[in-house]
Structure 1
Amino acid sequence: MAMRVATFHTTSSLLDRTLTTQARLANIQKQESTGLVSTDYAGLGSEAGSVISLSASISTAESNISAAETVISRSDTIASVLQDITDLLTNARSSVSATSTSDELQDLQTSAAEYLEDLELLLNTQYQGRYIFSGSLTDTEPVDTSSYEATDLTTVNTDYYQGDSYTQVIRLDSGTQVEYGVTATLEGIEEAMRALSYLANSITLTTSELDDVDDLLVDAQDAIITATSAAGTVSSRLETYIENEEDYIAQMEDLATDATSIDIAAAAVEATTYETMLEASYSALSTIINLSLVDYL
């Protein structure tokens, strides 16, 4: 391209403006195709910090939801097992009520041993590879009755327990904690173990003791029903928490969308304007470049 000194500055200035217009047109066309102000944080300018903060808040909320969903599943499993134990105790009480003679005691003791074995199996339930009644010792079976024997109906005896006293908790982002774990030392569970062990193993058992056995089973059942209800309350509370977190995520996503999205219609108008400007620049450049000395004679 040949040009005279007199037109050099004008040409350079016009070329710079043309290149700038080209860049702006390319950018607005990219925004049109993606619907986004920018595909990276660098292109968001002053909004980048806010968008990063919003993204972090959304990620945190999603993690909170995932943790809460896991706890709900565990809590529901605990509630289900406790309900099975309640049903087992109902059957045990029926067996006790059906025993009225000394001759029937042996059958009752056989049934009690079976109930005790079933209770042990229930308390050794695993969820996702974790024993749910062992406290923090989730890789240890909580109950072992091989050397456990209740010698009376009044003395608390947790010799069957192999776990620890830790109660599982979930920490919510608000700073509050929700306890959801149950160990096999729960009062109702210990009472059930004691009543069934005494029934199964006592060599001096008489029919006169059966009312006391039934009373202990009733106490055990009541305590376990209360624990079942508590587990359900935990699940309900966390379900509400999840709903609130989901609403929060939706709000943060709306804010992020507002900060990162463009008005497609407005972008189209802007692109048309840049195209018009660019065509005018091309025309002006062509005119200047093709000027010759003859034009000034």
Structure 2
Amino acid sequence: MTRIATAAAAQTALLDLMRAQRTVFETQQQLTTGKLHPDLKGAGHRAESISAAYGARDRAEAYKFSAERVENKMEITAVALDKLSEAATDLRVAMTTIDGTYIMSQAREAFEKARDALATQYAGGYIFGGTRTDIIPVSANSLDDLVAAPTAGDVFQNSTRRPVAKLDDQLTLEVGLLANEVGEDLMAAFKRLAEFDADANGPFDGPLDAAQQTYLQGEIANVLNAFDRINDQVGLNGAMQSRVSSQIQNQEAKADYLTNLIGDLEDADMAAAATRFQQAQTAVDVSARTFSVLSQVSLLPFLR
């Protein structure tokens, strides 16, 4: 009976040793990885919640990245609109002078500035091209090209649709401005000036005559209208920027919340894990000694 009891005790000690060794292994993994479990299989009933939280966080981060790209494009758009606005101002100021040669020289420079603004690119595409980003939105390279076109609108080759961006599960926005919307009025002013310069009342060369001064006085109002149209688009772009910026903050806050939630579900308490590791090591030592002693128990000393 003593031998049977000793064998049972040794078996119990062995099981205790194995449990302690497993605890040492598990807590050592926690201390190494910082996670409660090496994978979702070990998370049990929490696995579904952890997986869902990861998916939601990944979506939030993807939406944030998309919104940041849109915001960057809008910042470039704001710079381009400022340049376009400067071109309109340069043209208006030139028209207030009485030197025709200077007016046309400044008009050509202003046209080039406006064209460059409308041809601004971001990430390899034209920002004012709409959904067609592979081709320059304005085909006219000079005032002569404008004169040759039937109307100012004919030099624009942007699409009629704006790009769309999905910034949340339930939020899809049209983003970006179209070249003809922001620049057609200004290009029409350039075209009228160049046509007047080329017709019987031209050219603008040297001091202005009465007919030329009268024309310019009336045309300045049209340039001011074009300037106002550009500033309207500046405001529209700014309002959209504000909305996108708010969306970035929302997605960032959502991603941070989900990261904390994931941590609560799967991160190990490092202080508690260290304590359990030390306790488990002690238990291994004790269980090992106990098993060793019980494994060597014999009745021979009592039979002598």
TM class by smaller structure: 0.7 to 0.9
Q: CA deviation at 1:195?
A: 0.7
Distance 1:126 1:267, change over 3 A: closer
- Paired residues of 1:68 and 1:238 also in contact (CA < 8 A): yes
Q: CA deviation at 1:97?
A: 1.6
Partner of 1:162: 157
How many residues of Structure 1 are paired with residues of Structure 2 in the alignment? 287
CA distance in 1 between counterparts of 2:286 and 2:280 reads 10
What code does the residue aligned with 1:193 have?
M
What code does the residue aligned with 2:52 have?
S
Q: Does 1:136 align with 2:131?
A: yes
What code does the residue aligned with 1:223 have?
R
Partner of 2:284: 278
Which of 258, 270, 274 in structure 2 is aligned with 1:268? 274
Partner of 2:179: 184
CA shift digits 1:81-132 (9 cap, x unpaired) = 1111111111111111223xxxx44543443334223322221122222111
- Which range moved further: 118-127 or 131-140? 118-127
Partner of 2:204: none
Partner of 2:41: 42
Q: CA deviation at 1:156?
A: 6.5
CA distance in 1 between counterparts of 2:43 and 2:26 reads 12
Distance 1:32 1:106, change over 3 A: closer
Partner of 2:205: none
Q: CA deviation at 1:221?
A: 0.4
Matched residue SS, 1:269? helix
CA distance in 2 between counterparts of 1:266 and 1:148 reads 77
Q: Does 1:200 align with 2:194?
A: yes
Distance 1:76 1:261, change over 3 A: same
CA distance in 1 between counterparts of 2:80 and 2:280 reads 69
CA shift digits 1:159-211 (9 cap, x unpaired) = 1012211112322114223333111111x511110111110122145332223
- Paired residues of 1:110 and 1:200 also in contact (CA < 8 A): no
- Paired residues of 1:178 and 1:234 also in contact (CA < 8 A): no
Q: CA deviation at 1:241?
A: 1.5
Note the 1:26-65 alignment, pairs <5 A: 26-65=25-64
CA distance in 2 between counterparts of 1:176 and 1:238 reads 11
Matched residue SS, 1:172? strand
- Which range moved further: 135-144 or 287-296? 287-296
CA distance in 2 between counterparts of 1:173 and 1:42 reads 30
Note the 1:76-91 alignment, pairs <5 A: 76-91=75-90
Which of 146, 149, 154 in structure 1 is aligned with 2:147? 149
Which of 237, 240, 243 in structure 1 is aligned with 2:243? 237
Which 5+ residue runs of structure 2 have no aligned equivalent? 202-210
Q: Does 1:246 align with 2:255?
A: no
Q: CA deviation at 1:278?
A: 2.8
Distance 1:271 1:127, change over 3 A: closer
- Which range moved further: 66-75 or 109-118? 109-118
CA distance in 2 between counterparts of 1:77 and 1:168 reads 16
- Which range moved further: 284-293 or 65-74? 284-293
- Which range moved further: 90-99 or 219-228? 90-99
What code does the residue aligned with 1:215 have?
A
Matched residue SS, 1:14? helix
- Runs of 4+, deviation exceeding 6 Å: none
What TM-score, normalized to structure 1?
Answer: 0.86
What code does the residue aligned with 1:260 have?
E
- Paired residues of 2:139 and 2:157 also in contact (CA < 8 A): yes
Distance 1:197 1:18, change over 3 A: same
- Which range moved further: 23-32 or 217-226? 23-32
Cα RMSD of the aligned pairs, angstroms, is: 2.5
Distance 1:269 1:115, change over 3 A: closer
